[in-house]
Amino acid sequence: MTMIQQVHRHRYRSLLAVTAALTACGIGTGSQTLLVTAVVPLLFVLQDALATKPSLTNQLSVERKLSPEAPLPGQPVSVTLTIMNTGDSTIPDLRVADGVPTELGTIGGDPRASAILRAGQKLTVNYSVNTNRGTYEFDPVQVRARNRSGTIMIESKIAPSGQSSLESRVSVDDIPLSNQTMNITGPVTTETGGSGIEFYATREYQTGDPIGRINWNQYAKTGQLSTIEYHEQRAVRIAIIIDSRVSAHVSSQPSLPTGATLCAYAATLSISVLLDEGHTLTIVALGTPDPIRSDPPPAHASTDEETAFGAHAAMICNAAATGSDEMMTNTDTDTDTSAVAGDGGIVDQHRLLSRLDSNEQVLFCTPALDDAAVSIAQSIRADGHELTVLSPQISNSDIGGRIAHLNRTNRLFRIRRLGGTIVDWKRNETLPIALSRALRDINSQ
């Protein structure tokens, strides 16, 4: 912790000039009333002069903690600011304000607090911020303290210990790098017998059956060997599609993530969960060139093709979240479909479908801000794929935002009529909750 500056401000020092003026006028005019009146501000001036100056030097210990320290784009970050009075005296009026980066928006709690802080006591400030892609530096903590009479105030800036910056990005470490075995078991229960955990049936023992699956209870009763079969657990093939076309790279406020950033965030967590469950995965980013092969959009990677799938997938998610500076424009109104025909139209859809296996289920992450999103969903369904759409809501509550929200709702309704499952990720809902609903729908298909 570092004390950057310390400034004392006397509340009543300005009354010294008033006292001198009243005294001079009283003497000059011989008016006792003015002389008596001059006594009032004089008392405040004397109180200010005789008051003990507060000091924060070696008096406060300030620490800032961020959780998580390196969030994914769109992931909320909890900030805990702890101020401890390490001195021997009470601070009768302490006010603190954390230096939140101007680019970040506070979504919960308050970075400001006040308290009477006795020796050895702590003041804890908790709040949370929403993150966009990039690196953000926190400013020093602003501290104000007054003496008991309130006549003298001290202002200070303190650089706290702990974290002073955060970086929001999709890194290689966010996705497991090992190429997992996909063709043995998985979380989806089938109606065929085999290895698994849920009882299916018993059958006559056959040479070579595992000893662990022999029904020893029946053997003890009848002397006949039989084998227990379970509902076979199989992995499924899943394609995760990120809508990172031009139309998705918009946000309702500069401090909030774009629709494409939220979609990339959802895809990153989905990949981690689905890999752990043993599924075969394909990741596709619409409107994004491949960051490794420099192929034209859409970028793609598959566990069938690559041993370093995790690294490649992380780079695709990061590229999808980043976009270009021209894409980062604020919008509260509907997006013209023709404006995105170049990377969201027929050519892109043909390339997309060529990346998908015939029996793959599809998780399509899209803010659904144009009719091309519906067209893409229609092509996916027409190609015979089961479809789940995870759609983040990004519109404001003003008139333009409400119009955009109605248009988005209509598009999601049209996708639902195609046979797709819709998971509407509302702004006040955390991603893990919305994502759990989407993945539950995929595992049930």
The yes-or-no verdict on residue 381 having pLDDT over 90 is: yes
Q: What's the pLDDT band for 345 if we cut at 50, 70, 90?
A: very low
pTM for this model (two decimals): 0.61
Q: Which residues does 229 contact at the CB level (< 8 Å), separation at least 6?
A: 193, 194, 200, 201, 202, 203, 213
pLDDT top residue among 385 and 174 = 385
Query: Picking from 87-101, 165-179, 210-224, 325-339, which range would have the lowest pLDDT averaged per residue?
Result: 325-339
Backbone angles phi, psi at 328, to 5 degrees: -85, 70
pLDDT top residue among 176 and 323 = 323
pLDDT the model gives residue 82? 94
The whole-angstrom distance between residue 23's C-alpha and the CA centroid of its chain comes to 64
pLDDT top residue among 97 and 345 = 97
pLDDT the model gives residue 13? 58
The yes-or-no verdict on residue 306 having pLDDT over 80 is: no
Structure token digits, residue 26 = 């009283």
The yes-or-no verdict on residue 106 having pLDDT over 90 is: no
The yes-or-no verdict on residue 330 having pLDDT over 70 is: no
Where are the extended beta strands (E) located within 277-338? 280-286, 299-302, 329-330
pLDDT the model gives residue 39? 65
Asked if 92 and 116 count as a contact pair (C-beta separation under 8 A), the reply is yes
Kindly state the average pLDDT of the residues 319-333: 55
Burial of 174-208, coded b for 16+ CB within 10 Å and e otherwise, reads bbeeeebebeebbbbbeeebeebeeebeeeebeee
CA triple 72-73-78, angle to 5 deg: 65
In 116-258, alpha helices (H): 216-222
pLDDT the model gives residue 389? 93
Q: What's the pLDDT band for 5 if we cut at 50, 70, 90?
A: low
Q: For 182, how many CA atoms within 13 A lie in the half-sphere containing its CB?
A: 16
Kindly state the average pLDDT of the residues 282-294: 89
d(CA 261, CA 243): 9
pLDDT top residue among 173 and 155 = 155
Average pLDDT score, the chain: 76
pLDDT the model gives residue 102? 84
pLDDT the model gives residue 324? 52
pLDDT in tens, 230-264: 545 456 789 999 999 988 998 887 777 889 988 99
pLDDT in tens, 139-163: 999 988 887 765 667 888 888 999 8
pLDDT the model gives residue 443? 59
